Amino acid sequence: MPESLKKKTVKGVAWTSLDQVATLGFAFVIGVILARLLSPSDYGLLAMIAIFNAIAFAFINSGFGNALIRKPDLTEDDNSTAFYFNVVAGVVMTGIIWLIAPLAATFYDKPILTQLLRVEGLLLIISSFTIVQNSQLSRALNFKAKMIINITSQVIAGALAIFAAYHGFGVWSLVIQHFASSIIRLILLWIISPWRPRGRWNKRSFRYLWGFGSKMLASGLLDTVYTNIYPIVIGKFYSAADLGQYKRARDFSSIPSAGLTGVIQQVTFPVLSQIQDEDNRLSSSYRRMLRFTVFLVFPIMIGMAVLAHPLVISLVTDKWAQCVPYLQVLCLAMMWYPVHAINLTLLQVKGRSDLFLRLEIIKKAIVTIAIFVCVPFGIMGICIGSICTSIISLVINTYYTGKLIHVGFFRQMQDMTPTLVASFAMGAIVYFSTMPFDKDIIKLTIGIPLGILVYLGIAKVFRMPELQEAINIIHRR
């Protein structure tokens, strides 16, 4: 990897890591406080309608954001065409959400969902004004600016939500949080990003954007339905409180997995796009990024599974105790998320959105079947089924990576095995070391630092190169 690209990657990872760590840290603290103030039912109500806005936003974006990032000869007309499309789509989708809101309330038999969905739908218009600006910052690898925007919006929105929850606003506290975050993010993006829509609508630009983005749109819709099908099924067949417990477990398991993966993904896509036609360099860089990502994610997920009970009870009280076994199982499913994400990123880098779509169709069909098979076995059965589908998806996702850059399933598993073994060894040591203690706070006080020391010790003894990479990133931040 040339020094210039290497420096960009290291700098990008450093800034994005700082952004993600700070954002996730604030999100975690804010989430804990809100979970203490609100009920599982409050979270369950919003989870029921999450799919509607998620699908609508997929239409608004339509993959244009990534298309702008990867296009080598980007023009002003490309950016402006994407912007005009995003805004018009935002207005149209908001109108559709307004019309279907009563149907969603009827489906779940929750009248309050009509108001919730209509108000949340207004966020779509706000978000439509941020897609191009956000892509511009990513394309320029300006992750420092993105960090400022994310942290500022997160902190202010969280503070407002906590204030509202404390004063008895209930589920509307979460709506206030979403609105405040979106509006602040919009303002800061337009202040920091110098880009303004000065070009014109261009048919050629739209054909390129749609040619790449339409397949990403279809893939995004499938992924959105897949991600939200669990809340749909649980919300339909179980109570809002049950869904809230599942969502709390899902959120906890997603914070380290999806969060840390986001750090790497935001950097890998624009950086790898610069060497998209050099397969040898692309393969080498891809494998390094994959190994480094799982080096960070695997031990956190295993550690969280081992310490799930004391973690949940200490942070959000025993009213959330039902989510503990869900969290333990979901950690084992979500630990593979970064591998899925990075494999799919590679397909986007190579411009093979057609293969991306094909894989998504296959995987989502399998997952949908698995969910309905697991429903009779309760929420725990659904969680266990997610482990099986995650492993199946891993095999499927790595197929085309092997075809395109010769880094298939077995080579990736070979790359990940040292980290996987070290993580499970650490988890076993932490589990047996904390077993004699009854108090949750003591288990956390002993288990967390012990897990860190044991994992770093194993990495040091066996000279895992990812440890040195992590040290280098910290030194060069």
- Summarize pLDDT for 239-284 with one digit per residue, the tens: 899 999 999 999 899 888 877 776 666 666 666 777 777 778 888 8
CB 56 within 8 A of CB 96: yes
Q: Given this model, what pLDDT does residue 360 score?
A: 75
- Element counts in the chain: helices (H) and strands (E): 20, 0
Long-range contacts of 113-118 (CB under 8 A, 24+ apart): 113/45, 113/48, 113/49, 116/45, 116/46, 116/49, 116/171, 116/175, 117/49, 117/52, 117/53
Q: Given this model, what pLDDT does residue 375 score?
A: 83
Q: Given this model, what pLDDT does residue 102 score?
A: 95
Rounded CA separation 223/215 (Å): 12
439 in the Ramachandran plot: left (φ > 0), alpha (ψ -120 to 50) or beta? Answer: beta
Q: Given this model, what pLDDT does residue 3 score?
A: 46
Which token pair is 220? 């995004």
The parts of the chain modelled with pLDDT lower than 70 are 1-20, 62, 141, 262-271, 353, 473-477
Q: Given this model, what pLDDT does residue 440 score?
A: 92
Q: Given this model, what pLDDT does residue 11 score?
A: 59
Helices 279-306/323-334 angle, 10° precision? 160
**Dihedral (Cα; 461, 467, 469, 474), 10-degree rounding:** -130
Neighbouring residues of 415: CB distance < 8 A, sequence distance ≥ 6 = 287, 290, 291
Q: Given this model, what pLDDT does residue 474 score?
A: 63
Q: Given this model, what pLDDT does residue 112 score?
A: 93
Signed CA dihedral, 381, 387, 392, 396: sign only: positive
Rounded CA separation 242/231 (Å): 10
Rounded CA separation 347/208 (Å): 17
Q: Given this model, what pLDDT does residue 131 score?
A: 84
Rounded CA separation 181/91 (Å): 19
Q: How many CA atoms lie within 13 A of 91 on its CB side?
A: 5
**Dihedral (Cα; 151, 330, 382, 57), 10-degree rounding:** 20
DSSP character string of 274-326: TTTT-HHHHHHHHHHHHHHHHHHHHHHHHHHHHTHHHHHHHHH-GGGTTHHHH
- Summarize pLDDT for 219-235 with one digit per residue, the tens: 777 777 777 788 888 98
Residue located via tokens 């393969």: 283
Q: Given this model, what pLDDT does residue 67 score?
A: 75
Q: Given this model, what pLDDT does residue 261 score?
A: 72
Which token pair is 96? 């559709």
Q: Helical H runs in 238-278?
A: 240-273
Q: Given this model, what pLDDT does residue 2 score?
A: 47
SS3 content of the chain, % helix, strand, coil (to 5): 85, 0, 15
Name the maximum alpha-carbon separation found in the chain: 69
Rounded CA separation 215/156 (Å): 36
Helices 112-121/172-192 angle, 10° precision? 0
